[in-house]
Structure 1
Amino acid sequence: MRHWNCLIVCLSLLPAVSAAADAKVDYDKEVAPLLRKYCAGCHNDSDREGEFSLESFAALQQGIKEKPALLPGDPAGSRMWRLISGVDEPVMPPEGEAKPTEAERELVRLWIEQGAKGPAGVEPDRLTLRVPHIESRTKLSPVTALDFSPDGKLLAVARYGRIDLLAAGPGAPQDWKLVRTLGELPGKVESVEFCLNGTQILNASGVAGSGGIATLWNVADGVRVRDFKGHRDLVFDATLSPDGKTVATCSYDKEIMLWNAENGEQIRTLSGHNGAVYDIAFSPDGKVLASASADDTCKLWRVRDGERLDTLGQPQKEQYAIRFSPDGKAVLAAGADNRLRIWELKFGDQPGINPLTVARFAHEAPIATFCFSKDGSRLITAAEDRTIKIWETKNYTELKLLENQPDVVDAVIADPSGERAVIGRLNGSLELLPLPAVKPPAPTAPSEPEAAVAVEMAAPPMTDAKETEPNDQPAQAQKIAVPIRIKGAIDSPAAGSDLDCYRFTAKAGETWVIEINAARSKSDLDSFIEILNTEGKPVERVLLQAVRDSYFTFRGKNSIQADDFRVFNWEEMDVNQFLYCNGEVVKLWRMPRGPDSGFDVFPGSGGRWNYFDTSGLTHAMGEPCYVVEQHPPGTELIPNGLPVFPLYYENDDAARREAGKDSKLFFTAQADGDYVLRIRDVRGGEGAQFAYTATIRTAAPDFTVSLANRKPQINLGNRCEVKFNATRIDQFDGQLMIDAANLPPGMTINTPLTIAPEQIEAFGVLSLSADAADPTPEQLKAIKLTATGKVAGRQVTHDIPAWEEIKVIRMPALELVIRAAAKGAQPLPNDGTSPLEFVIHPGETIMLEVVAERNGFKELIAFGTADCGRNLPHGVYVDNIGLNGLLLPADKSVREFFVTASPWTPEQTRMFHLQSNDKNGPASAPVILHVKPAEKPVASTNAATQ
């Protein structure tokens, strides 16, 4: 009923016509345009609202549900007229839509009365525009697409209604000789490409709202070889498969169509996008087709059967362009969200989740198009902000920025030589661009410059001194010789807040540790320290360039917590990246477990660490934050539309929380000369009670390791978890190895254990045999636990205080075992007495199985949430567990679980286990996990535990 109403309304919208009763109403010129304008939006061959279409006269004659829409010669009996005129309900068009005028309704009535005659002869092609021709005031002919022939001798330039073939040569492209024009194309030519070794050209075009077409041409004579028609709206792209057998087209009608290139017959339609499909691309092997859409996604399709392989859902707005990298290992897309994204094509033509590897904020406006150089070493992007950028493709960093283009660049193509590219603008102009060579990557500032001594530090013995006034200004700075310990106070009889300045000499590369002892000694001083040059200007430490913008969601953060950093667009961030938050810099430690959780930041527990001696701050919900990359001071950065943050040598509270509210700063001199240390109260306070001790000394990196629980409980014949905590001193971040010796008979621990670089804990498993006796105090005292690390190039070993008491429980208890799942990863062969060994590749997920021998334990077994994979390497985690974590229901004794390795995880071997979260819950027997590159074979280590 509703479609009839729409039809009636549409007919009533016909242009007002003052025609005599005997004047013949022309369907083609008077009725059809109105049906398209007012009715075909709902009642067309594609949507068929109300199961009715009036897209063509033939469709109109079909009526609805085998009933006629009109009775020729009888308006009063025609359903169509009765709905338009309001005689029947519901009146069409529906409420809220434009209504036809009386004259328009009369025109429809008269047409029906005259017999509702259709078009004379063949109905006009839907690609023919039936609108008045209005001459344009300007002679601009925008360039909409470009392509070079494989030999580089011809350039195809797509414009409105035609394709110009230019003979490439020296000089500006505007002056290149016109060889041939391929014309008589409907509307804007959206794409053009040379194919079949340059002998033919394929293009896409059409008329918005009416239909689209792809056309194949001979290059040699300009003969039109074949048309590919079927889309119901403008065709945005047409491309030929590498084997030359299949043409793919995409359209505003949301569809992708595959065609037989030899006979033009349609093979299949790929449906699934919820918006216009703007671009498509075949993989170099022709097995996969990628599509970019207005529905904010990209999709991968298998060509041979049309199966959708993956939906790349990270984009935030429409995607306008998509390409495969020349080696076929990655997919790139860009569009209205101003970002360039790269996904690893991990699964080829098989279904799977292809990981996002790079996301760059590339331009300050939507990216219109991009292309690779022939060798794939450079990428050229063009955006609606009238900028062009050239990128190297190893790390996708900018090589060159071209600003202030005369108009938007809508087309770009690199020539086969790889040395230049041609751009086409909407003002119709062409320009030749030389492509810059790929330079070696610029040096980056080390993330922990404080941890390494840059030069040999043969410092004299520590001396003591007292502050002397006046020293408020750098020019008045008290001269000192380092190393030194100074007693002073932020207290001055002069008006205003007191500042204390000290001048010292340092050589380039020397690292000095400057620390304040005030709050720890009950002083009222909340110190703030900074390093100035002799002119009183702050010394720049590092330059941070934002590469991704975000903001805090859900809730804010206090100045200490290290967990649940919920930020917008977290899917495009990764572990080990720096996050800049209003002057504070943290480092991402663990990924969220989903949209209802957040990042953990280093060190993963306790108070969060800050980097570059920034200090912890409170952050509000909605506050901006940025993923940043570091560069040495003075680096000339190519603007990317995001902020750049210079950081200086200054500190409020010690970056790793070891000094409370007192300040601690690691200063590395950039050149030989004098520098000024300035001390003040961060609140501007002063007084005799604002006393401090300032120490300037050489760095003394070191570590200590301790047991988290020195009085564990363990069931006879079972296992319990042991945890080792590392305290890193003066930002020593090297690897630590933990060993055990002299354990009592029947007791073992799976050493050596590793505390990885920058990490502060390791987990092991203490096992007790079924026939073991209770350990005696003498046996416990004989246990030797040690931690070893390399500090400043030398091996350093420290003892770890061992257990004070180990309580043995002699009763049946829950036992846990990790084993291979039937359809999961299989262990490496070993002698049967060693722990099981599994291999995982970076970027891979493997399936294992945990088995519980309950021994009367009837409750739910909880293994933890994000931390349930105990002692897994940094970057490897138990996956797919949700917010409740890894659980084994009370009525189950076996469950599968998944372990995922992040793509960047370094090669290593670790032992890991699962731990029941119940009080004194047992640990599983450890298994060995080898993280290895996919191409490397792995042999069993056949390692035995002590």
Structure 2
Amino acid sequence: MPIPLVATLIASATVALADDAKAPDYQAQVAPVLKKYCAGCHNDEDREGSFSVETYASLQRGAEHGPALLPGDPKGSLMVRVLTGAAKPVMPPKDEPKPSPEEVAILEAWIAAGARGPDGAEPSRLTLMVPKVASRATIRPVVAMDASRDGRWTAVARDDGVTLYEGNGDPVTRGERPGRPIGTYPGKVTAVHFSADGSRLVTASGVAGLGGAAAVWDVASGSLVRSFEGHRDLLYDAELSPDGRLLATCSYDKTIEIRDAESGSLRHTLDGHTGAVYDVAFSPDGRFLASASADGTCKVWRVEDGLRMDTLPQPLKAESCCLFSPDGLSIVAGGADANIRVWRFVSREKPEINPMTTARFAHEGAIVRMAFSPDGSTLVTLAEDRTIKAWRADDYTEIHAWDDQPDVASAVAFAPDGSRIDVGRMDGSLATYAVPRPGSISAPAADPPPAKLAGQVAETVQESREVEPNDAPDRATPITLPARVAGTIAEGKDGAVDVDFFRFSARAGEPWIFEVDAARSRSKLDSFIEVLDARGGRIPRVALQAVRDSYFTFRGKNGTETGDFRVFNWEEMSINDCLYANGEVVKLWLFPRGPDSGFFVYPGQGDRWGYFDTTPLAHALNDPCYIVRPHPPGAKLVPNGLPVFTLNYENDDDARRELGKDSRLHFTAPADGEYLVKLRDVRGLQGPDFGYTLVARAPRPDFHVALAGANPTVGAGSAREFKVSAKRTDGFDGPIRLEFRDVPAGFHVTSPLVIEAEQLDAFGVVYADAVAAAPAADAPPVRVVATAEIDGREVAHDVDPLGAIKLDPAPKLRVAIEPADDGPKPSTSEGGLPEYVVEAGGRITLKLKVERVDLAGPIPFGNEGAGRNLPFGTIVDDLGLNGLLVVEGKDERTFFVTADPIVPEQARPFHLTTAAAGGASSRPVLIRVVRPGARSASVEPSKGD
């Protein structure tokens, strides 16, 4: 350790003072020199060289190698010797400021005179020993404010003073009521908070680089009840617990202190942050404390013993403020990355991960303050972009914005009834605003129209051919829908690029599908189709408001891939979110399975789908992309600082990739009237071999189901997997239910089996009792029927049969899902399956057990697809690169099942499958997903919708 800098300072001077000169005063002359040059490294906290100059007592304790000074002998004092070079290392360190000869002379004279300490108690270490410089500023910024819950008082902090006002709202903010100052402070006041009953006011203050000071004041009299000094730097917040018994403070020194509010005794020092701590907040029950820090994290602490319950690491920059929701179920934070983040608070009994439920891009500048309305229905945020915004707290949707503030709003307080807010600004001004109720927002989501069954009577289709010239809206060829029209994108007049227009009539809300048959019939046409209004203007289809910005990382994407979509800040995205990139809209289907992977997008297999009839495109590395929310055209959108993209009725290549390069466009007429179909080559090419057929038809929503894995051989006491896949047509995305009939005795089939809404596949198993007998040779095949509801009517289709089931009396491998030692214990479902409950947003631990018969080696159960038939959004989690694997020589392992917060309440049979030993599966267990805090779901098993 280096020799203390203080010793260095005292040793260099050899100037002798006159014998009759008065010895330097420690407090007035010596301590300022020590604090100026030495205390930064040699203080009671850092104690570099095991030496501190913070107090006279600390100085007397000396350094790690003995006394630092010898009263009466400055030249023999270690401090003098290191300063003069007589001892190593020479101090101060290189590039550090050195005391002047006069200052060193003061220290030497003080030691020579006996190094006498201060008379009486030392003054507060918060005393700033610098020359007084009068301020010329005329503006006193508002840095903090609060209102008592009973509405009787408002406290406003400006610089180093606090003013109390009676009441709140306009009488205060307009200056109609005089205020009275309360208290004096060692430095800048950074926070004010009323106690729960409004009788006390807590203030946070301090001196940068020296320490912090908190105080509790009696509101009625303005007298000081109790003061607290602590920390090594300025305080940023001080808050009483809800019952008033504890005081929590946080500081630039990276620590949090919890004290007894009555005695001032220190209960806990919480030092887990690596940056300044800007805010603390008690939970409503007072058992937990949340903190926000410059290190880009929030942390959750248990107040009783100071145990850290979780670190919330998702913020991208410093977090400046944090809150518990008034119901105590969530933690909300904001900061320099301009996002509101919300975590569901679950780490109550033990340290565990609190899942993030919302990340909302909120402002174009750093968020500096936030506050909940007393009833918890509204959140208000203040930001450096000079805006104030109100958010509906149940989903954190913006409901109002107060833009263009005259300066940054830096403080906010709600009225007791939540109807208005008082805000303070950096220009010193105050204002009051009425807060709209959460239910007053507009901008509904743009949901796709429900699938409608076509009429039972066959419609007459108009067969015709284009009539040239039809290359302009006023020369469009008239057609009557439904229609089938042949044409050619031939050379236009005077060599102009040819386009073909067709005019048709439609009634408001009528859905039509326009399809082009060109490339499939070996035409050279690469079609592009649009539906326009009667004058040829584009018709908006949907407004996509960006709610999160991102960009492609690691590598770009081609126009077909569904997997490995790596995008920046993916942790704040969710499955079923729409991702917009350069005109293409895709939908997120499966989360990345770790840092070296990316999203899968719909449909999760084959070529990817576009949404809103957008065509999948290639995207380069670092290309921007956005999470967007769809809204109807013309909807009133509250600006959030991110772009809004308008998509029109147009298509290049069929978004579902069923027609190849040919176009397919879904159109719903916004009003009664005439419309135009415009058809061209997307490249601007033309010629006699650029023929096409344009089909305009009504949607016929339907489905077809195929089965893979027929005629299975099933081991006694074991199971064998099969798969059902749906082909959906014309907008039908609902659940499909499969039933299995004529299953032989001793055998069972996952039934009913459901292909969930929007999904293409489901997995089931045929499983045999341990004592099952082989089915008779003449046993009927197992029949399969698929049913779904379309437009309020049940539609049923036969599926290829599961066929004949055979028995393997001696399988080499049996697989089972069992309860883990530290996991939930199952109940028995109505169907006799073991049932495990998992909360949406939570996870459970289960055990995989195998029974080997002459089977060695590892047994793999897959990677991202390991959880067979789990509810969409529920996965087998934390698999690593090897996936779910029972290693060689082992017969069991634990695994985790995690349900995303969006998963609805449902119950669904789930199993595991391996390709080892020719293929084996476990008997299914029932996974029941419930909402957080619920114990059961009031849904029928296996509905899945």
TM-score exceeds 0.5:
yes
Give a deviation string over 1:802-854, Cα, whole Å, max 9, x none: 357878666541111112233322222469x9332223332332222222110
- The question of whether the paired residues in 1 share the 8 Å contact of 2:906 and 2:937 is answered with no
Structure 2 partner of 1:673: 673
Structure 1 partner of 2:346: 346
Distance of 2:700 and 2:44 partners within structure 1 = 78
- Structure 2 counterparts to residues 420-439 of structure 1, below 5 A: 420-439=420-439
Structure 2 partner of 1:35: 34
Q: Indicate the SS of the match to 2:418.
A: coil
Give a deviation string over 1:308-355, Cα, whole Å, max 9, x none: 212111111111111111122211111111111111222435432222
Question: Which residue type is aligned with residue 872 of structure 2?
Answer: H
Distance of 2:377 and 2:634 partners within structure 1 = 27
Structure 2 partner of 1:886: 884
Q: Indicate the SS of the match to 2:836.
A: strand
Structure 2 partner of 1:64: 63
**TM-score w.r.t. length of structure 1:** 0.93
Please state how far the C-alpha of 1:458 moved relative to its aligned partner. Answer: 8.8
- Structure 2 counterparts to residues 585-624 of structure 1, below 5 A: 585-624=585-624
Question: Which residue type is aligned with residue 314 of structure 1?
Answer: Q
Structure 1 partner of 2:706: 706
Matched, 1:145 2:120: no
Structure 2 partner of 1:925: 923
Q: Select between 927-936 and 539-548 the one with higher mean Cα deviation.
A: 927-936
Give a deviation string over 1:427-469, Cα, whole Å, max 9, x none: 21111112222334535344433x5349989994111222233
Structure 2 partner of 1:868: 866
Distance of 2:461 and 2:261 partners within structure 1 = 83
Matched, 1:299 2:299: yes
Question: Which residue type is aligned with residue 842 of structure 1?
Answer: A
Structure 2 partner of 1:315: 315
Structure 1 partner of 2:229: 229
Give a deviation string over 1:4-56, Cα, whole Å, max 9, x none: 2x445666999x99999968655545543343333322221111222222223
Matched, 1:263 2:263: yes
Distance of 2:426 and 2:115 partners within structure 1 = 45
Q: Select between 758-767 and 817-826 the one with higher mean Cα deviation.
A: 817-826
Please state how far the C-alpha of 1:266 moved relative to its aligned partner. Answer: 2.0
Structure 2 partner of 1:377: 377
Q: Indicate the SS of the match to 1:144.
A: strand
Root-mean-square deviation (Å)? 2.9
Relative distance call for 1:286 and 1:374 in structure 2 (3 A) is same
Please state how far the C-alpha of 1:172 moved relative to its aligned partner. Answer: 5.4
Distance of 2:32 and 2:616 partners within structure 1 = 67
Structure 1 partner of 2:251: 251
Matched, 1:897 2:895: yes
Structure 2 partner of 1:551: 551
Question: Which residue type is aligned with residue 787 of structure 1?
Answer: A
Question: Which residue type is aligned with residue 131 of structure 1?
Answer: V
Structure 2 partner of 1:907: 905
Q: Indicate the SS of the match to 2:916.
A: coil
Please state how far the C-alpha of 1:743 moved relative to its aligned partner. Answer: 4.4
Give a deviation string over 1:365-422, Cα, whole Å, max 9, x none: 1111011222222221111111111122122111211122121111100111322211
Please state how far the C-alpha of 1:146 moved relative to its aligned partner. Answer: 1.0
Please state how far the C-alpha of 1:208 moved relative to its aligned partner. Answer: 0.9
Distance of 1:394 and 1:39 partners within structure 2 = 53
Structure 1 partner of 2:825: 826
Structure 2 partner of 1:692: 692
Relative distance call for 1:549 and 1:220 in structure 2 (3 A) is same
Structure 1 partner of 2:52: 53
Please state how far the C-alpha of 1:203 moved relative to its aligned partner. Answer: 0.9
Q: Indicate the SS of the match to 2:571.
A: helix
Structure 1 partner of 2:463: 464
Structure 1 partner of 2:81: 82
Question: Which residue type is aligned with residue 902 of structure 2?
Answer: W
**TM-score w.r.t. length of structure 2:** 0.93
Please state how far the C-alpha of 1:914 moved relative to its aligned partner. Answer: 0.4
Structure 2 partner of 1:562: 562
- The question of whether the paired residues in 2 share the 8 Å contact of 1:865 and 1:884 is answered with yes
Structure 2 partner of 1:241: 241
Distance of 1:111 and 1:696 partners within structure 2 = 101
Matched, 1:479 2:481: no
Question: Which residue type is aligned with residue 187 of structure 1?
Answer: G
- Structure 2 counterparts to residues 847-866 of structure 1, below 5 A: 847-866=845-864
Distance of 2:200 and 2:938 partners within structure 1 = 53
Structure 2: gaps of 5 or more residues: none
- Structure 2 counterparts to residues 259-658 of structure 1, below 5 A: 259-348=259-348, 350-442=350-442, 444-449=444-449, 451-453=450-452, 460-494=459-493, 495-658=495-658
Distance of 2:118 and 2:278 partners within structure 1 = 34
Distance of 1:421 and 1:771 partners within structure 2 = 72
Distance of 1:454 and 1:81 partners within structure 2 = 97
Question: Which residue type is aligned with residue 166 of structure 1?
Answer: Y
Distance of 1:454 and 1:340 partners within structure 2 = 43
Relative distance call for 1:245 and 1:879 in structure 2 (3 A) is same
Q: Indicate the SS of the match to 1:594.
A: coil
Q: Indicate the SS of the match to 1:439.
A: helix
Question: Which residue type is aligned with residue 337 of structure 1?
Answer: D
Structure 1: gaps of 5 or more residues: none
- The question of whether the paired residues in 2 share the 8 Å contact of 1:8 and 1:93 is answered with no
Distance of 1:518 and 1:919 partners within structure 2 = 49
Q: Select between 597-606 and 221-230 the one with higher mean Cα deviation.
A: 597-606
Structure 2 partner of 1:719: 719
Relative distance call for 1:259 and 1:762 in structure 2 (3 A) is same
Distance of 2:549 and 2:620 partners within structure 1 = 16
Q: Indicate the SS of the match to 1:254.
A: coil
Q: Select between 802-811 and 701-710 the one with higher mean Cα deviation.
A: 802-811
Give a deviation string over 1:708-756, Cα, whole Å, max 9, x none: 3447554466321101111111121011111222346665422221001
Distance of 1:254 and 1:485 partners within structure 2 = 73
Relative distance call for 1:290 and 1:456 in structure 2 (3 A) is farther
Distance of 1:750 and 1:349 partners within structure 2 = 37
- The question of whether the paired residues in 1 share the 8 Å contact of 2:907 and 2:941 is answered with no
Relative distance call for 1:818 and 1:220 in structure 2 (3 A) is same
- The question of whether the paired residues in 1 share the 8 Å contact of 2:11 and 2:79 is answered with no
Please state how far the C-alpha of 1:187 moved relative to its aligned partner. Answer: 1.0
- The question of whether the paired residues in 1 share the 8 Å contact of 2:9 and 2:107 is answered with no
Q: Select between 147-156 and 279-288 the one with higher mean Cα deviation.
A: 147-156
Distance of 1:684 and 1:797 partners within structure 2 = 46
Q: Indicate the SS of the match to 1:475.
A: helix
Distance of 1:370 and 1:527 partners within structure 2 = 52
Distance of 1:593 and 1:11 partners within structure 2 = 62
Distance of 1:904 and 1:887 partners within structure 2 = 28
- The question of whether the paired residues in 2 share the 8 Å contact of 1:27 and 1:117 is answered with yes
Relative distance call for 1:279 and 1:727 in structure 2 (3 A) is same
Distance of 1:896 and 1:368 partners within structure 2 = 44
Relative distance call for 1:118 and 1:456 in structure 2 (3 A) is farther
- The question of whether the paired residues in 2 share the 8 Å contact of 1:288 and 1:349 is answered with no
- The question of whether the paired residues in 2 share the 8 Å contact of 1:507 and 1:672 is answered with yes
* Alignment length (residue pairs): 937
Please state how far the C-alpha of 1:3 moved relative to its aligned partner. Answer: 4.1
Report sequence identity in percent.
Answer: 49
